A and B are shown apart, each in its own frame.
Chain A
Amino acid sequence: MTDTSAIRFGSKRLFFLSGKGGTGKTAISVGLARALARRGKRVLIVEIDAPRPNLPNYFGGSIDAQPRKLDKRIDGCNIDFFSALRSYVQSVVPVKAVVGLILRNSVVKIFLTATPGARELVLLSRLWEFSWDPKWDHIIVDLPASGHALALMRTPTLARKTFARGPLRKRADAIIERFQDPSVSGLYFCALPGEMPINETIETRQMLVDLGMPPIGGAFLNQYPDESFSEEEQALLAELAAAPDAPRSVAAAVEAAIETRRNQVVADEGMERLLQAFGEGSVGRLPVLPGTHSQVADAISLVISEWV
Protein backbone atom coordinates (compact mmCIF):
# COMPACT_ATOMS: atom_id res chain seq x y z
CA MET A 1 0.00 0.00 0.00
CA THR A 2 1.55 3.27 -1.08
CA ASP A 3 1.44 6.40 1.04
CA THR A 4 -1.08 8.20 -1.15
CA SER A 5 -3.78 5.56 -0.73
CA ALA A 6 -3.80 5.45 3.08
CA ILE A 7 -5.25 7.68 5.79
CA ARG A 8 -3.15 8.91 8.68
CA PHE A 9 -5.60 8.95 11.57
CA GLY A 10 -3.46 10.49 14.30
CA SER A 11 -4.78 9.93 17.81
CA LYS A 12 -8.38 11.02 17.42
CA ARG A 13 -10.96 9.83 19.86
CA LEU A 14 -14.12 10.53 17.87
CA PHE A 15 -14.54 9.31 14.33
CA PHE A 16 -17.60 10.54 12.45
CA LEU A 17 -18.34 8.52 9.32
CA SER A 18 -20.52 10.15 6.74
CA GLY A 19 -21.64 9.23 3.25
CA LYS A 20 -24.62 8.41 1.11
CA GLY A 21 -26.50 5.16 1.53
CA GLY A 22 -24.71 2.24 -0.08
CA THR A 23 -21.22 3.71 0.20
CA GLY A 24 -20.25 1.14 2.81
CA LYS A 25 -20.40 3.49 5.80
CA THR A 26 -21.32 0.82 8.31
CA ALA A 27 -18.91 -1.75 6.86
CA ILE A 28 -16.10 0.81 7.16
CA SER A 29 -17.21 1.78 10.69
CA VAL A 30 -17.06 -1.86 11.73
CA GLY A 31 -13.78 -2.40 9.84
CA LEU A 32 -12.22 0.60 11.61
CA ALA A 33 -13.54 -0.63 14.98
CA ARG A 34 -12.05 -4.08 14.39
CA ALA A 35 -8.72 -2.59 13.35
CA LEU A 36 -8.59 -0.45 16.52
CA ALA A 37 -9.74 -3.32 18.75
CA ARG A 38 -6.95 -5.46 17.30
CA ARG A 39 -4.51 -2.85 18.62
CA GLY A 40 -6.00 -3.29 22.09
CA LYS A 41 -8.24 -0.21 21.99
CA ARG A 42 -11.75 -0.24 23.44
CA VAL A 43 -14.22 1.03 20.89
CA LEU A 44 -17.86 2.12 20.91
CA ILE A 45 -19.73 2.17 17.61
CA VAL A 46 -22.71 4.51 17.66
CA GLU A 47 -25.67 4.69 15.34
CA ILE A 48 -27.88 7.73 15.73
CA ASP A 49 -31.63 7.26 15.85
CA ALA A 50 -31.53 4.57 13.17
CA PRO A 51 -35.03 3.20 12.55
CA ARG A 52 -33.39 -0.08 11.67
CA PRO A 53 -29.83 -0.24 13.01
CA ASN A 54 -27.21 -1.76 10.70
CA LEU A 55 -24.85 -3.10 13.34
CA PRO A 56 -26.79 -6.35 13.98
CA ASN A 57 -26.08 -7.30 10.35
CA TYR A 58 -22.42 -7.45 11.31
CA PHE A 59 -22.50 -8.83 14.83
CA GLY A 60 -25.83 -10.65 15.06
CA GLY A 61 -28.18 -10.10 17.98
CA SER A 62 -29.63 -6.65 18.46
CA ILE A 63 -28.53 -3.26 19.74
CA ASP A 64 -30.16 -0.84 22.07
CA ALA A 65 -29.90 2.75 23.28
CA GLN A 66 -27.56 1.54 26.04
CA PRO A 67 -24.12 0.41 24.81
CA ARG A 68 -23.69 -3.33 24.87
CA LYS A 69 -20.86 -5.67 24.00
CA LEU A 70 -20.76 -6.73 20.36
CA ASP A 71 -17.36 -8.34 20.25
CA LYS A 72 -14.06 -8.34 22.09
CA ARG A 73 -13.34 -4.69 23.01
CA ILE A 74 -16.18 -3.51 20.73
CA ASP A 75 -19.43 -2.09 22.11
CA GLY A 76 -22.31 -0.70 20.12
CA CYS A 77 -25.50 1.28 20.59
CA ASN A 78 -28.22 3.11 18.72
CA ILE A 79 -28.92 6.43 20.42
CA ASP A 80 -32.66 6.91 20.32
CA PHE A 81 -34.48 10.13 20.97
CA PHE A 82 -36.28 9.33 24.19
CA SER A 83 -33.31 7.82 25.97
CA ALA A 84 -31.23 10.79 24.85
CA LEU A 85 -33.94 13.14 26.07
CA ARG A 86 -34.09 11.43 29.45
CA SER A 87 -30.36 11.74 29.78
CA TYR A 88 -30.42 15.43 28.83
CA VAL A 89 -33.30 16.31 31.16
CA GLN A 90 -31.59 14.46 34.01
CA SER A 91 -28.42 16.45 33.48
CA VAL A 92 -30.37 19.73 33.73
CA VAL A 93 -32.95 18.79 36.37
CA PRO A 94 -31.44 16.40 38.89
CA VAL A 95 -34.74 15.76 40.70
CA LYS A 96 -36.01 12.37 39.62
CA ALA A 97 -39.71 13.03 40.13
CA VAL A 98 -39.54 16.18 38.02
CA VAL A 99 -37.69 14.35 35.25
CA GLY A 100 -40.52 11.85 35.14
CA LEU A 101 -43.11 14.63 35.05
CA ILE A 102 -41.41 16.29 32.10
CA LEU A 103 -40.89 13.10 30.15
CA ARG A 104 -44.46 11.87 30.69
CA ASN A 105 -46.11 15.15 29.74
CA SER A 106 -47.80 14.72 26.37
CA VAL A 107 -47.37 18.35 25.39
CA VAL A 108 -43.63 18.11 26.00
CA LYS A 109 -43.45 14.96 23.92
CA ILE A 110 -45.17 16.42 20.89
CA PHE A 111 -43.38 19.72 21.36
CA LEU A 112 -39.98 18.05 21.28
CA THR A 113 -40.76 15.59 18.54
CA ALA A 114 -41.89 18.29 16.17
CA THR A 115 -39.78 21.25 17.24
CA PRO A 116 -37.00 22.02 14.79
CA GLY A 117 -33.55 21.14 15.94
CA ALA A 118 -34.54 20.05 19.47
CA ARG A 119 -34.49 16.42 18.47
CA GLU A 120 -31.08 16.62 16.79
CA LEU A 121 -29.54 18.65 19.59
CA VAL A 122 -30.72 16.16 22.20
CA LEU A 123 -29.30 13.23 20.18
CA LEU A 124 -25.95 14.97 19.80
CA SER A 125 -25.99 15.76 23.48
CA ARG A 126 -26.07 12.03 24.27
CA LEU A 127 -23.12 11.46 21.93
CA TRP A 128 -21.31 14.30 23.67
CA GLU A 129 -21.83 12.52 27.00
CA PHE A 130 -20.38 9.30 25.58
CA SER A 131 -17.38 11.25 24.30
CA TRP A 132 -16.31 11.89 27.91
CA ASP A 133 -16.79 8.33 29.13
CA PRO A 134 -13.41 6.77 29.98
CA LYS A 135 -14.79 3.30 29.20
CA TRP A 136 -13.83 3.75 25.57
CA ASP A 137 -10.65 4.86 23.82
CA HIS A 138 -12.46 5.56 20.57
CA ILE A 139 -16.00 6.28 19.50
CA ILE A 140 -17.02 5.64 15.92
CA VAL A 141 -20.18 7.40 14.83
CA ASP A 142 -21.96 5.82 11.89
CA LEU A 143 -23.85 8.95 10.82
CA PRO A 144 -27.14 8.88 8.92
CA ALA A 145 -26.94 9.40 5.13
CA SER A 146 -25.17 12.65 4.19
CA GLY A 147 -28.10 15.08 3.88
CA HIS A 148 -29.40 14.14 7.30
CA ALA A 149 -25.89 14.09 8.75
CA LEU A 150 -25.33 17.65 7.63
CA ALA A 151 -28.65 18.75 9.15
CA LEU A 152 -27.66 16.99 12.38
CA MET A 153 -24.25 18.66 12.56
CA ARG A 154 -25.71 22.06 11.79
CA THR A 155 -28.01 22.00 14.80
CA PRO A 156 -25.61 23.19 17.54
CA THR A 157 -24.47 26.12 15.40
CA LEU A 158 -28.08 27.02 14.68
CA ALA A 159 -28.98 26.74 18.35
CA ARG A 160 -26.12 29.10 19.12
CA LYS A 161 -27.49 31.65 16.67
CA THR A 162 -31.04 31.27 17.91
CA PHE A 163 -30.56 31.27 21.67
CA ALA A 164 -28.62 33.92 23.52
CA ARG A 165 -28.64 31.97 26.78
CA GLY A 166 -30.25 29.09 28.62
CA PRO A 167 -29.44 25.42 29.07
CA LEU A 168 -29.91 24.40 25.43
CA ARG A 169 -27.49 27.14 24.43
CA LYS A 170 -24.99 25.97 27.03
CA ARG A 171 -25.20 22.41 25.82
CA ALA A 172 -24.84 23.52 22.21
CA ASP A 173 -21.68 25.44 23.15
CA ALA A 174 -20.24 22.41 24.93
CA ILE A 175 -20.99 20.15 21.97
CA ILE A 176 -19.36 22.56 19.53
CA GLU A 177 -16.27 22.95 21.69
CA ARG A 178 -15.84 19.20 21.95
CA PHE A 179 -16.68 18.19 18.40
CA GLN A 180 -14.77 20.95 16.63
CA ASP A 181 -11.46 20.14 18.31
CA PRO A 182 -9.29 18.50 15.62
CA SER A 183 -7.22 16.67 18.23
CA VAL A 184 -10.40 14.97 19.45
CA SER A 185 -12.66 14.48 16.50
CA GLY A 186 -12.62 14.04 12.75
CA LEU A 187 -15.18 13.46 10.08
CA TYR A 188 -14.49 10.89 7.38
CA PHE A 189 -16.44 10.59 4.15
CA CYS A 190 -17.21 7.30 2.52
CA ALA A 191 -17.38 7.69 -1.25
CA LEU A 192 -17.70 5.45 -4.24
CA PRO A 193 -15.71 6.00 -7.42
CA GLY A 194 -17.66 7.79 -10.14
CA GLU A 195 -17.94 11.39 -11.16
CA MET A 196 -21.23 12.16 -9.40
CA PRO A 197 -20.43 10.55 -6.04
CA ILE A 198 -17.04 12.29 -5.96
CA ASN A 199 -18.64 15.64 -6.81
CA GLU A 200 -21.12 15.20 -4.00
CA THR A 201 -18.42 14.24 -1.54
CA ILE A 202 -16.37 17.31 -2.38
CA GLU A 203 -19.46 19.55 -2.19
CA THR A 204 -20.50 18.14 1.17
CA ARG A 205 -16.94 18.51 2.42
CA GLN A 206 -17.08 22.21 1.56
CA MET A 207 -20.39 22.62 3.39
CA LEU A 208 -18.87 21.08 6.50
CA VAL A 209 -15.79 23.25 6.20
CA ASP A 210 -18.10 26.28 6.10
CA LEU A 211 -19.92 24.91 9.12
CA GLY A 212 -16.62 24.53 10.96
CA MET A 213 -17.58 21.31 12.72
CA PRO A 214 -16.54 18.58 12.95
CA PRO A 215 -13.02 18.97 11.51
CA ILE A 216 -12.56 17.09 8.24
CA GLY A 217 -10.46 13.98 8.82
CA GLY A 218 -10.45 12.51 5.35
CA ALA A 219 -12.23 10.26 2.92
CA PHE A 220 -12.46 6.58 2.11
CA LEU A 221 -12.67 5.74 -1.57
CA ASN A 222 -14.55 2.47 -1.33
CA GLN A 223 -14.93 -0.23 -3.95
CA TYR A 224 -11.82 0.75 -5.83
CA PRO A 225 -11.30 -1.75 -8.67
CA ASP A 226 -7.81 -2.85 -7.74
CA GLU A 227 -7.13 -5.62 -10.24
CA SER A 228 -5.10 -3.84 -12.82
CA PHE A 229 -3.78 -4.98 -16.13
CA SER A 230 -0.49 -3.55 -17.38
CA GLU A 231 -0.44 -1.37 -20.47
CA GLU A 232 0.86 -4.28 -22.48
CA GLU A 233 -1.99 -6.46 -21.21
CA GLN A 234 -4.52 -3.78 -22.01
CA ALA A 235 -3.31 -3.80 -25.57
CA LEU A 236 -3.84 -7.56 -25.61
CA LEU A 237 -7.35 -7.09 -24.20
CA ALA A 238 -8.16 -4.59 -26.92
CA GLU A 239 -6.88 -6.99 -29.57
CA LEU A 240 -8.98 -9.84 -28.19
CA ALA A 241 -12.04 -7.61 -27.99
CA ALA A 242 -11.65 -6.74 -31.66
CA ALA A 243 -11.13 -10.32 -32.83
CA PRO A 244 -14.17 -11.95 -34.47
CA ASP A 245 -15.80 -15.19 -33.32
CA ALA A 246 -14.41 -15.22 -29.79
CA PRO A 247 -15.59 -18.12 -27.62
CA ARG A 248 -18.33 -16.93 -25.26
CA SER A 249 -16.16 -17.28 -22.16
CA VAL A 250 -13.32 -15.23 -23.68
CA ALA A 251 -15.68 -12.51 -24.89
CA ALA A 252 -17.25 -12.19 -21.42
CA ALA A 253 -13.92 -12.32 -19.56
CA VAL A 254 -12.42 -9.68 -21.87
CA GLU A 255 -15.50 -7.47 -21.57
CA ALA A 256 -15.38 -7.71 -17.77
CA ALA A 257 -11.66 -6.89 -17.71
CA ILE A 258 -12.13 -3.89 -19.99
CA GLU A 259 -15.01 -2.69 -17.83
CA THR A 260 -12.84 -2.95 -14.74
CA ARG A 261 -10.15 -0.98 -16.53
CA ARG A 262 -12.66 1.70 -17.47
CA ASN A 263 -13.91 1.84 -13.89
CA GLN A 264 -10.35 2.10 -12.75
CA VAL A 265 -9.69 5.13 -14.92
CA VAL A 266 -12.79 6.76 -13.41
CA ALA A 267 -11.71 5.74 -9.92
CA ASP A 268 -8.19 7.09 -10.45
CA GLU A 269 -9.61 10.43 -11.54
CA GLY A 270 -11.84 10.37 -8.45
CA MET A 271 -8.87 9.53 -6.23
CA GLU A 272 -6.92 12.40 -7.75
CA ARG A 273 -9.76 14.85 -7.09
CA LEU A 274 -10.27 13.60 -3.54
CA LEU A 275 -6.56 14.00 -2.86
CA GLN A 276 -6.72 17.57 -4.13
CA ALA A 277 -9.72 18.34 -1.92
CA PHE A 278 -8.68 16.47 1.22
CA GLY A 279 -4.88 16.51 0.97
CA GLU A 280 -2.31 13.74 1.00
CA GLY A 281 -2.55 11.26 3.82
CA SER A 282 -6.28 11.93 4.10
CA VAL A 283 -7.69 9.62 1.45
CA GLY A 284 -7.82 5.86 1.93
CA ARG A 285 -8.49 3.40 -0.84
CA LEU A 286 -10.55 0.26 -0.17
CA PRO A 287 -10.99 -2.51 -2.75
CA VAL A 288 -14.13 -4.12 -4.14
CA LEU A 289 -14.89 -6.96 -1.76
CA PRO A 290 -17.37 -9.79 -2.20
CA GLY A 291 -19.01 -11.68 0.65
CA THR A 292 -21.35 -11.23 3.59
CA HIS A 293 -21.53 -8.06 5.71
CA SER A 294 -19.17 -9.49 8.25
CA GLN A 295 -16.67 -10.84 5.69
CA VAL A 296 -16.52 -7.47 3.96
CA ALA A 297 -15.97 -5.64 7.27
CA ASP A 298 -13.21 -8.09 8.22
CA ALA A 299 -11.47 -7.60 4.91
CA ILE A 300 -11.75 -3.82 5.31
CA SER A 301 -10.34 -4.04 8.83
CA LEU A 302 -7.23 -5.78 7.48
CA VAL A 303 -6.61 -2.90 5.08
CA ILE A 304 -7.27 -0.26 7.76
CA SER A 305 -5.05 -2.08 10.27
CA GLU A 306 -2.10 -0.82 8.22
CA TRP A 307 -3.23 2.76 8.77
CA VAL A 308 -4.10 2.94 12.48
Chain B
Amino acid sequence: MAERVRVKTMSPPGHVRAPHYLRGKTGEIERPLGAYKNPEQLAYGLDAAPKELFRVRFTMAEIWGDRAERAEDTLDAEIYAHWLERL
Protein backbone atom coordinates (compact mmCIF):
# COMPACT_ATOMS: atom_id res chain seq x y z
CA MET B 1 0.00 0.00 0.00
CA ALA B 2 1.31 3.39 -0.96
CA GLU B 3 2.73 5.61 1.74
CA ARG B 4 0.54 8.57 2.62
CA VAL B 5 1.97 12.02 3.28
CA ARG B 6 0.68 15.49 4.04
CA VAL B 7 2.29 18.67 2.68
CA LYS B 8 3.32 20.96 5.51
CA THR B 9 1.33 24.17 5.94
CA MET B 10 4.31 26.37 6.85
CA SER B 11 4.79 29.57 4.82
CA PRO B 12 8.27 31.03 5.35
CA PRO B 13 8.60 34.31 3.39
CA GLY B 14 11.23 33.34 0.83
CA HIS B 15 11.92 31.12 -2.18
CA VAL B 16 10.19 27.81 -1.44
CA ARG B 17 9.30 24.81 -3.61
CA ALA B 18 5.92 23.67 -2.37
CA PRO B 19 3.00 25.29 -4.17
CA HIS B 20 0.54 27.01 -1.89
CA TYR B 21 -2.48 25.17 -3.26
CA LEU B 22 -1.04 21.84 -2.07
CA ARG B 23 -0.13 22.88 1.47
CA GLY B 24 -2.04 20.87 4.06
CA LYS B 25 -3.22 18.41 1.38
CA THR B 26 -2.79 14.64 1.72
CA GLY B 27 -1.49 12.41 -1.04
CA GLU B 28 0.50 9.24 -1.60
CA ILE B 29 4.09 8.71 -2.64
CA GLU B 30 4.03 7.72 -6.31
CA ARG B 31 7.78 7.18 -6.47
CA PRO B 32 11.05 8.48 -5.01
CA LEU B 33 13.06 10.56 -7.50
CA GLY B 34 16.45 10.70 -5.77
CA ALA B 35 18.27 13.41 -3.86
CA TYR B 36 19.06 16.86 -5.26
CA LYS B 37 20.70 19.95 -3.85
CA ASN B 38 18.10 21.94 -1.96
CA PRO B 39 16.89 24.65 -4.39
CA GLU B 40 15.67 26.74 -1.47
CA GLN B 41 19.37 27.18 -0.48
CA LEU B 42 20.76 27.35 -4.04
CA ALA B 43 18.36 30.23 -4.69
CA TYR B 44 20.41 32.40 -2.31
CA GLY B 45 23.80 31.34 -3.64
CA LEU B 46 24.43 29.10 -0.61
CA ASP B 47 25.90 25.63 -0.33
CA ALA B 48 23.03 23.18 -0.44
CA ALA B 49 22.77 19.70 1.05
CA PRO B 50 21.00 17.05 -1.03
CA LYS B 51 17.33 16.56 -0.16
CA GLU B 52 15.16 13.62 -1.15
CA LEU B 53 12.59 14.48 -3.81
CA PHE B 54 9.32 12.57 -4.20
CA ARG B 55 6.56 12.45 -6.76
CA VAL B 56 3.36 12.74 -4.74
CA ARG B 57 -0.07 11.90 -6.14
CA PHE B 58 -3.17 13.82 -5.02
CA THR B 59 -6.80 13.37 -6.02
CA MET B 60 -8.64 16.36 -7.45
CA ALA B 61 -11.22 15.92 -4.68
CA GLU B 62 -8.47 16.33 -2.07
CA ILE B 63 -7.13 19.50 -3.69
CA TRP B 64 -10.29 21.27 -4.83
CA GLY B 65 -13.06 19.71 -2.74
CA ASP B 66 -16.53 20.25 -4.21
CA ARG B 67 -15.04 22.40 -7.02
CA ALA B 68 -13.30 19.37 -8.59
CA GLU B 69 -14.76 18.60 -12.04
CA ARG B 70 -13.70 14.94 -11.85
CA ALA B 71 -13.04 14.03 -8.24
CA GLU B 72 -11.18 10.79 -9.03
CA ASP B 73 -8.65 12.38 -11.44
CA THR B 74 -5.20 12.79 -9.98
CA LEU B 75 -2.39 15.35 -10.03
CA ASP B 76 1.30 14.52 -9.50
CA ALA B 77 3.62 17.06 -7.90
CA GLU B 78 7.34 16.76 -7.14
CA ILE B 79 7.94 17.78 -3.55
CA TYR B 80 11.03 17.65 -1.32
CA ALA B 81 11.01 15.52 1.82
CA HIS B 82 11.34 18.49 4.16
CA TRP B 83 7.89 19.66 3.01
CA LEU B 84 6.23 16.29 3.72
CA GLU B 85 4.85 14.74 6.91
CA ARG B 86 4.43 10.97 6.85
CA LEU B 87 1.03 9.80 8.04
The reply to whether chain A is a binding partner of chain B is no
Taking beta carbons and an 8 Å cutoff, which residues of A are in contact with B? none
